[in-house]
Amino acid sequence: MTPIERIIRAEIAATGPMGVDRFMALALGHAEHGYYITRDPLGRDFTTAPEIHQMFGEMIGVWVAAHWVPGARLVELGPGRGTLAADVLRVLAKAGLAPETWLVETSPALRGEQARRVPTARWAAALEEVPEGPMLLLANEFFDALPVKQYLRSPEGWRERQIGLAQGRLAWGLSGALPLDLGAAPWVETSQAATQILGQLGQRLARHGGAALIIDYGYRAADRPLGPTLQALRAGAPVDPLERAGEADLTWLLDFDGLAAALSGFDCAVETQRAFLGRMGIGQRAAALAAATPGAAGSIADALERLTGLDQMGQLFKVLTVLPRNQGEPAVRGEERA
């Protein structure tokens, strides 16, 4: 039994079944044994876009430079190994920008990795600890790691999905009917942590200016999945989330139209990763890199395909851009916009 499973069982024995959010908070974030606290999982359990190729971070750097606000800080939520921030800062430096950079990270293991790639960074454990002021905020595969609650509609009313004990093992269950009105859908996922961070983000952008870019695995209203989306990944393969708790990554799919609705005071646009990277010029960048380093042309083409391919990260990953009202986006090539 993993140390996390022992802790979860003890808590269930003491206070009863727990919601998926509590389970995720313990499995991923427990101060001593949590999945992200104890290790650098990138490249082992899963790979993220910045780790595939520098072109990803460079295109984000192009977007950040295009929306730069004098005196702004660069802020990244959940920066992993720090690769994205390093690639963005390299592009900004070429534009003569060397912003104060804040990395919001709870994992000591990953802060160490980040310090190696972004030695000038400052760290905070939460967005509210970052000094107030204009900011360009980035979050790649951050929100999908925050604790989420799951509710299912039943004839008696809404029930919460819970984790309890059955025959001495962790097991899925449902709460009794709850006096909640969660709308018309058959299931709902809500993340209090995500809602809180989006609220702070909106307040700061409204007060001080700046922009935000949120990238994650997620869906639009029109292609909403049929059921709740929590999944566990170990060594690149899906596993049972209740098996070996604390040793697998846990993620859920973001509802991008819901995110945009939570930031309704801003100019929000949702597009696919393919469309976003395309309009930032990844095709031209790939061609220029391949011309400069012919020996790497094959690996550059492979990386481009992984980042933008319709059956790879191009379609399932979505990008939410959050800009002040009426600021407008750089020219968009119509056929690439999703």
| Interface ranges with ligand SAH (CB under 6 A) | 29, 36, 42, 48, 50-51, 78-80, 84, 104-107, 110, 140-142, 145
Q: Which is nearer to ligand SAH, 158 or 197 (CB)?
A: 197
- Structure-token pair, residue 306: 């992984």
Q: Which is nearer to ligand SAH, 158 or 259 (CB)?
A: 259
Q: Which is nearer to ligand SAH, 92 or 158 (CB)?
A: 92
Least distance to ligand SAH from the beta carbon of 331, Å?
27
Least distance to ligand SAH from the beta carbon of 130, Å?
12
- Structure-token pair, residue 276: 């976003």
Least distance to ligand SAH from the beta carbon of 107, Å?
4
Least distance to ligand SAH from the beta carbon of 231, Å?
14
**Cβ neighbours of residue 241 under 8 Å, at least 6 residues apart?**
23, 27, 230, 231, 232, 248, 250
| Cβ proximity of 252 and 189 under 8 Å | yes
C-beta atoms surrounding 179 within 10 Å: 6
Least distance to ligand SAH from the beta carbon of 28, Å?
6
- Structure-token pair, residue 336: 């690439």
Q: Which is nearer to ligand SAH, 17 or 57 (CB)?
A: 57
**Alpha carbons 114 and 146: distance in angstroms, whole number:** 20
**Alpha carbons 195 and 184: distance in angstroms, whole number:** 20
Q: Which is nearer to ligand SAH, 17 or 41 (CB)?
A: 41
Distances (CA, A) of 140 to 22, 82, 328: 23, 11, 22
